[in-house]
Amino acid sequence: MKIKLLSTTVLSLLLLSGCADKVSKIDVNNDKGDQVIGLDYRDFAQAASEATQSMLRSPSLTKPGGGRYILAISDIKNDTMQHIDTDQLIKKIRIELLNSGKVYITTADWWCRR
């Protein structure tokens, strides 16, 4: 009985120690990793950048006589079968628009629900 318990314990320890991998931090700005089949953070970064650049090129964000418009950003609904972090996408867009200096951003959408 002791041999069976000892061999089971040793085998369990060997299996658990074999699962340890080296952990490394990914630099999302300089990632040269392989492409994946699904969506990953690179896809969100590219989509956010393209959407923001398109908005900034539009004359709709240029207020006549100077100044800035107030841009309200509401929730984005994920209506797909995939788990998509829409907060990650909208955060990148919001930050780029704020840094452009063309608009003020608000997430208060109470006036839209009237």
Q: Say what the pTM is.
A: 0.58
The DSSP string of the chain is: -HHHHHHHHHHHHHHHHTT--------TTS--PPP-SS--HHHHHHHHHHHHHHHHHSGGGS-TTS--EEEE-------SSS---HHHHHHHHHHHHHHHTSEEEE---GGGG-
Does residue 60 form part of some domain?
yes
* Average pLDDT estimate for 88-112: 81
Does residue 13 form part of some domain?
no
pLDDT per position as a tens digit, 37-89: 666 677 777 888 888 999 889 888 888 888 888 888 877 787 878 777 788 78
Does residue 30 form part of some domain?
yes
Q: Is the pLDDT of residue 19 over 60?
A: no
Give how many domains the chain has, as a whole number: 1
Does residue 45 form part of some domain?
yes
Question: In which band, very low, low, confident or very high, does the pLDDT at 13 lie, cut at 50, 70 and 90?
Answer: low
Does residue 58 form part of some domain?
yes
Does residue 44 form part of some domain?
yes
Does residue 1 form part of some domain?
no
Domain region containing 109: 24-113
* Average pLDDT estimate for 91-104: 88
Does residue 18 form part of some domain?
no
